[in-house]
Structure formats: C-alpha cells, structure tokens
Amino acid sequence: MAAEHIWPGQWVTDRLGVTLTGSPGLPGLVGLAVRDNPRRAHLLVSTVLGKHVPQHPKTVRDAGLTLGHRVRALLGEEDAARALVLGYAETATGLGHCVADGLGAARCLHSTRRRVPGMPDAGGFEEEHSHATSHRLLPADPGWLTDGAPLVLVDDELSTGRTIRNTVEALHRRAPRERYVVAALVDVRDPAGHDDLAKAAADLGTTVDVVSLAHGRVALPADVLARGRRLVADHTTAPPTPADGHRAPRITLDWPAGLPDGGRHGFTAAHRDRLEAALPALTGQLRAALPPGARRVLVLGSEELMYVPLRLAEALADRLPGTDVRFSATTRSPVLAVDHPGYPIRSRLVFPSHDDPADGPGDRYAYNVAGAGFDAVVAVTDTAGDTGALHAPGGLLSHLAAHTPHPLLAVIHHKGDGDA
C-alpha cells in the first residue's frame, strides 16, 4: 500500500541524481522521467496535463482553467478578452485551449509540426532541447499575430526560458507588442533563466510576465547526460508486440460543418460555443460504441489533437458517473519506460507516425496504456491522421488491440471543409 504514495520522480532522483525542490504543490504536479534524448537527460512529467499520464479529464481541464484565471486576473478583463493565447505543440495544445477558456473571450492558436497545403506560413521558432525542434504558425488570419493584442504563451513547463525567448524575439521582430504573458503549469527556471528573460524583454522594449501553478528548481549533476545515456542503455526493453489482424470499430463523429477541431489555424470563443453545443451528441456517439459494463475507459488524443478529445472525455465522464474515464494523448517524445511505482512512465507503445508530419515519418509513443487495465480505449484522430499507417499491422490500433479488449477509433470528419 505504501508504494501508492511514492513520488513519481523518486526513481530518477535515486539513480540520475536529479532533484526537484520548490513550492508545496510542485511534487503533486510533476514527476521525473529519463528522456531518450542526447540534449537533455531528464523530463518533467506532468500529472495534470493529460499527455503521458492518463488522468481524470476534469483534473486536466481544471488545471488549465485555473492557470487561465490567474492570467485573466493579471491582465484585467479588457485585455484578457482581446488577448491571443498561443499553445506550444505538441504538449501544450490542449493546455493552451483551456487557458483561453479561463480567460473568457480570448482567441487561441497553437504551433504545429504538421504540413498543411494551402495554409500560409506566418512564422516560427525553435525549441532546442526538444526531440522535434521546429514550430510553425499557420493562422487562418495572419493578422492575429500583428494586431498588438497581449500575447499569452502557454507551455506545460518553463525550465530554461529559452523557447519563450526565441518565440518572443521571433514574433516581436514581425510585429512589436507591449505585453507578453507566459503561462506554465510549473516554473523551474534557475536565477540565470529569470535574468535572461528579463534582459530579453528589456532589450526588446516590452514586458514579459510569468504566471504558473507552482515554482521550484531542478538541480542536475555535472554528468547527468552520461548517466542518462547509461540508464537508457541499461533499462530499455523490447516494446510490446502488437495484435496484428484486429480491426478497431470506427466511429465517424458527426462534426459540425466549418468548426475547427483545434487551434492549429485559430479557435475563437464562438468556436468554443459551437463545440459546447455539439458535445452532447458527439459524446452520445462514443457512449453508444462502448461495450456494455465497461468500467475503465481511456480517451486517447493524437499528438497535437488534444483539446477536443479532452472535452469528449470530460463529457463522457459526466454521462458515465460509474465509469473511470481517463484522458491522455500520443506523443513524438521518446521516454524511457520503467515499471516502478516511483517512476511516471510505466509502459510505452511504439508505432509509426500516421499524419504526414512536416519533418517526415518517425516513431510515435503512447505511454501508460499497456498494463493499465482499460476495458476500452477510444483513439481520437482527424481525417488527416486517419491513414493507412494508423490501421496497418504495427500501427497504433494494432498496438491498442493487444492491451484492451475493445479498441475503438473516433474520427473527426470535416464534411468537405478541408483540414480545419
């Protein structure tokens, strides 16, 4: 029983020498894992983001709303209503939406790594430590980036501040604005990181404020990269075998015409209202497809597609009060999996990308699905992600079939509107 209360970062602290200290709420928001990445050995794994760790959807949404309320209090009602919220792909796309919801009438946009023919590229920036470094901005209305409204940059963590500085500098060169706000679940910058962001803002002649749910520090040993490589080498095991030959039932969601499925090209308060109105019928489709008596269900988003699956999971949980509904999403970030109660990534599935990413094909991952005892897993994707690679032997659906008796596929079909 005591194992249930082990902090999901203790394994890394004991073996990698990485320590996390800070405000009282910090350990409840993040654990520590080991990246399979030569540029950075550790990963802060959020327990409330709904990415790597399946979580109650209300917990995920409430974390984003709370962060949004704090930004709203900082900006004031007038600036909050006209603000543009920018979430970072792929991890903080859903979080950005929830922050925008917390602001009220704010517009939402997220960066992307997907290729979208016919959409003008309005700029981008780099995230050096990430497994995939390049972010592109593809708003349907490029004027969103030049109208001078307060810009709220949303990420799950603020570790060095380098990505934020890159973003502010790139966007400020395009169209200077008076104010930026950084909203992160956790802020673990060291004093140099605080100073660097303040200096960058001063050099640009602008203001950059930071809002978070918790703050602290990450201390790294000098040989952390070498130790991380050894841990990856010593603890990497063969990935689970897919259940080839199994076909997942398909649910074609009755998606409202013209409604975007997220903020890749922009999402407004009016779009959110339309989504709210459609949720009961969409959730009814999912509920009807679930097996009778399902007690534990995962709604699984697809990389950047997080907000709509989150809202579907939240609505499904409301309609099935006796069912343990969880939410998480697939990712392109390779992380070591270790089945230990003091580690946040207990298992991983590895499968090929299935949405024609701009940087080419590559491996994708679903964490903490294998061995989690889900009676059903509903994988949610859009039409661009509903490709042969998704359905092929070794694809995501065949992997899900090996770990749940009822894998389901829900597809957001855009009725001829193109990639929304």
Q: Does residue 15 form part of some domain? A: no
For residue 241, being part of any structural domain is answered with no
Q: What's the pTM?
A: 0.94
Q: Is 254 found in the same domain as 215?
A: no
Query: Cβ(85)–Cβ(267) under 8 Å?
Result: no
* Residue 366 predicted with pLDDT over 80: yes
157 shares a domain with 212:
yes
Tokens representing 11 are 């394994």
pLDDT band at 10 (very low <50, low <70, confident <90, very high): very high
Q: Residues 210, 348: one domain?
A: no
pLDDT above 90 for 416 = no
Q: What is d(CA 336, CA 357) in angstroms, rounded to the nearest whole number? A: 23
* Number of domains into which the chain is organized: 2
Nearest to 151 by CA among 128, 172, 166, 120: 172
Is residue 259 domain-shared with residue 215, that is, in the same domain?
A: no
pLDDT at 3 over 50: no
User: What is the per-residue pLDDT for 133?
Assistant: 57
Q: Which residue has the higher pLDDT, 388 or 120?
A: 388
- Residue 173 pLDDT > 60, yes or no? yes
Q: Which pLDDT score is estimated for 419?
A: 41
How far is it, in rounded angstroms, from Cα 10 to Cα 340? 10
- 70 and 184 belong to one structural domain: yes
Answer with the one of 198, 219, 240 that is the final residue of a domain.
Answer: 219
Considering the domain architecture, whether residues 131 and 268 belong to the same structural domain is answered as no
Residues 6+ apart with CB under 8 A from 146: 174, 175
Residue 212 inside a domain? The answer is yes
Query: Across the chain, what does the average pLDDT equal?
Result: 93
Contact of 412 with 258, CB cutoff 8 Å:
no
Q: Are residues 186 and 279 in the same domain?
A: no
- Burial string for 275-299 (b: 16+ CB within 10 Å, else e) reads beebbeebbeebeebbeeebebbbb
Residue 229, domain member (yes or no): no
CATH code for the domain in which residue 87 is found: 3.40.50.2020
Return all residues near 73 (Cβ < 8 A) that are at least 6 apart.
none
Q: Could you tell me if residue 418 is inside a domain?
A: no
* Cα distance between residue 304 and residue 311, in whole Å: 14
Residue type, 309: P
Q: How confident is the model at residue 418 (pLDDT cuts 50, 70, 90)?
A: very low
pLDDT of residue 414: 82
Query: What is the rounded CA–CA span in Å between residue 1 and residue 351?
Result: 34
385 and 274 in a single domain? The answer is: yes
Give 115's pLDDT tier (boundaries 50, 70, 90).
Answer: confident
Domain contains 9: no
Calculate mean pLDDT across residues 202-218. 97
> In terms of domains, do 181 and 307 share one?
no
Q: Given a cut of 50, is residue 263 above it in pLDDT?
A: yes
Which pLDDT belongs to residue 132?
47
Mean pLDDT of 102-118: 92
The residue from 174, 200, 219 where one domain ends is: 219
Query: Domain with 376 in it: what CATH number?
Result: 3.40.50
Separation CA 180–CA 155 (nearest Å): 14
Which residues span the domain enclosing 201? Answer: 21-49+57-219
Residue 358 pLDDT > 90: no
Residue 130: which pLDDT band, with cuts at 50, 70 and 90?
very low
In a domain, 227, yes or no: no
Residue 188 tokens, joined: 């673990």
Residue 2: inside a domain: no
**What mean pLDDT comes out for the span 338-366?**
94
Residue 233, class by beta-carbon neighbours within 10 Å (0-12 exposed, 13-18 middle, 19+ buried)? exposed
Residues 300 and 366 in one domain: yes
Is the same domain home to 155 and 261? no
Average pLDDT over residues 232-237: 94
Residue 212 sits in the same domain as residue 277:
no
> Per-residue pLDDT tens for 30-76?
999 999 888 899 999 999 999 999 999 999 999 999 999 999 999 99
Which residues, other chains included, contact 8 with Cβ-Cβ below 8 Å and sequence gap of 6+?
31, 32, 45, 47, 341, 342, 343, 344
Which of 172, 201, 219 corresponds to the end of one domain? 219
Instruction: Give the 3-state DSSP-derived string for the chain, with helices as H, strands as E and coil as C.
Output: CHHHHCCCCHHHHHHHCCEEEECCCHHHHEEEEEECCCCCCEEEEECCCCCCCCECHHHHHHHHHHHHHHHHHHHCHHHHHHCEEEECCCCCHHHHHHHHHHHCCCEEEECECECCCCCCCCCEEECCCCCCCEEECCCCCHHHHCCCCCEEEEEEEECCCHHHHHHHHHHHHHCCCCEEEEEEEEECCCHHHHHHHHHHHHHHCCEEEEEEEEEEEEECCCCHHHHHHHHHHHHCCCCCCCCCCCCCCEEEECCCCCCCCCCCCCECHHHHHHHHHHHHHHHHHHHHHCCCCCCEEEEEEECCECHHHHHHHHHHHHHCCCCEEEEEECECCCECCCCCCCCCCCCEEEEECCCCECCCCCEEEEECCCCCCCCEEEEEEEHHHCCHHHHCCCCHHHHHHCCCCCEEEEEECCCCCCCC
